[in-house]
Amino acid sequence: MTTLLFSHDSSLSHLTPPGHPERVDRITAVSRALNAPAFAALDRREAPLAGEAEVLRCHAADYLAKVRAARPGEGLAQLDPDTFLSPGSYEAALRAIGAAEAAVDAVLAGEAANAFVAMRPPGHHAERGRAMGFCLFGTVSVAARYALDHHGLSRVAVLDFDVHHGNGTQGLLWDEARAVFVSSHQMPLYPGSGAATETGAHGQIVNLPLRPGSGGAEMRAAWEAALARVSDFAPDLILISAGFDAHRDDPLAGLNWTESDFAWITGAICDLADRTASGRVVSCLEGGYDLAALAASVEAHVTVLMERGA
């Protein structure tokens, strides 16, 4: 077996205004990196289109209708100060969900130990009834509910190492006792949530705020303790919100992670998956806005997934 890679050209059709950090060039950089000879063994699959009913696993029907109605025939529509729709955005967002769910299907079926979903727009800021922070739908949250309800899993872990707090994921899973959510993030920073005191309706949410300017040593200490808690939860599947904007070169934040830190946390998550989930991991791209740092960090992340999935 090898690692699955889900992608689709619709990610290139989600357009944002000139100068916007969440831009088409991000997916181009990721694709170029993963087309290198070192990644030839990836099992490459096309992201399927999710049905709108899948969005409703986490989002309100009136919000889905609002996004659908806001789709522009040309140009751009704005849903919040940071989040835009172009004519191709709706399909891209549905295919991101479709890819995450297809990855869950394949990993649970034993077709591969793990998968990486290289799709945009990202999703971890989207709330039940509003777009936020470049995100339309909570892709990973929807995939978690899909694993629990469609596949009948008992416990799922969602682990988020994006530099920004996954407020959307936290809100969408706040009342879900079957899902543990762990987020490390710089604090203070957008969106302002993610204090350690925010623990969920069942004590199943773990926030790891990191001080500006901190680096890999602080991150590793925080995650080692958190992963021990997740191990006690014994998830059947691990989903990753893989943001790479904690990199020291990223323009939107101030943490000092390097590619070796992303490799370390990927390996630590895979160790946990080996103990509790038969190695089953599905990772979905979130942030990362310096193109060179994003490409190098994705390379480090996927290299470890491939080594562990072989």
Q: Which residues are catalytic?
A: 125
Q: How many CB atoms lie within 10 A of CB 2?
A: 16
- DSSP-based helix, strand, coil % in the chain, nearest 5: 40, 20, 40
Of 6, 28, 3, nearest to 15 by C-alpha is 28
Q: Which helix (H) or strand (E) holds 43?
A: strand 43-46
Cβ proximity of 100 and 142 under 8 Å:
yes
Q: Within the chain, where are the H helices?
A: 24-34, 52-55, 61-70, 89-108, 139-149, 167-172, 216-233, 259-276, 291-309
Cβ proximity of 120 and 26 under 8 Å:
yes
Residue with tokens 């967002």: 93
Two structure tokens written together for 166: 């996954």
What value, to the nearest 5°, has the Cα angle with vertex 131 and ends 89 and 7? 40
Q: How far apart are CA 88 and CA 73, in angstroms?
A: 9
Q: What's the Rg (C-alpha) of the chain?
A: 17
Number of helices (H) and strands (E) in the chain: give both, helices first. Answer: 9, 10
Q: How many CB atoms lie within 10 A of CB 144?
A: 31
Report residue 39: phi and psi, to 5°.
Answer: -110, 20
Cβ proximity of 281 and 113 under 8 Å:
yes
Q: Which residue type, as a one-letter code, is found at position 201? A: A
